[in-house]
Amino acid sequence: MKNKLRILFLCTGNSCRSQMAEGFARNLKSDVLEVFSAGIEAQELNPMAVQVMREAGVDIAGQWSKTVEELNNREFDYVITVCDNASENCPYFPAGIRIIHRGFDDPPVLARNAGSFEGELDCYRRVRDEIKAFIEELPDCLKGNHTE
């Protein structure tokens, strides 16, 4: 049996986008991927992210925000940064780990001018759906797409 690819989804605060990616990957790709998420810093899990993920049938309420350091030096095949800040400030990873940037808009920033609670949720839903589409393409979309 082939080993699962070990993937870390990295974001600034590990509160929203990386948590969504981890949730979808666990839900849709657990047969081929072992996934984790972390942030450059730890922030509280975003309740709106939890809500829109629940709407999509994925419960991330039991996940928690953590930093890379809290992952106890786990080894990864890929680190996927899901926001520009994490890409620009990506911590050092040992040689051989492939680092890929696949940025997604920041739902809290998008939601600032939404005008209503439902409008705010729609911002989160759009990013959620983009993340899901990306996860559905894993691991095939990783081939030949990395920097070291």
Mean confidence (pLDDT) of the chain: 90
Instruction: Determine the average pLDDT of the residues in 4-27.
Output: 96
Closest Cα to residue 36, out of 3, 58, 65, 2? 65
Catalytic positions are 11, 83, 90
Q: Is residue 135 exposed (0-12), middle (13-18) or buried (19+ Cβ within 10 Å)?
A: buried
Place of tokens 């949730």: 23
Structure tokens at 20: 């969504």
At the top level of CATH, which class does the domain 5-142 belong to? alpha beta
d(CA 41, CA 90): 11
Q: How far apart are CA 17 and CA 134, in angstroms?
A: 12
Q: What is the mean pLDDT of residues 26-48?
A: 95
What is the residue whose two structure tokens read 């994490």? 86
More reliable by pLDDT, 86 or 54: 54
Each domain of the chain, given as residue ranges in start order, spans: 5-142
pLDDT band, residue 112 (cuts 50/70/90): very high
Q: Confidence class of residue 146 from pLDDT cuts 50, 70 and 90? A: very low
Q: What is the 3-state secondary structure (H, E, C) of the chain?
A: CCCCEEEEEEECCCCCHHHHHHHHHHHHHCCCEEEEEEECCCCCCCHHHHHHHHHCCCCCCCCCCCEHHHHCCCCCCEEEECCHHHHHCCCCCCCCCEEEECCCCCHHHHHCCCCCHHHHHHHHHHHHHHHHHHHHCCCHHHCCCCEC
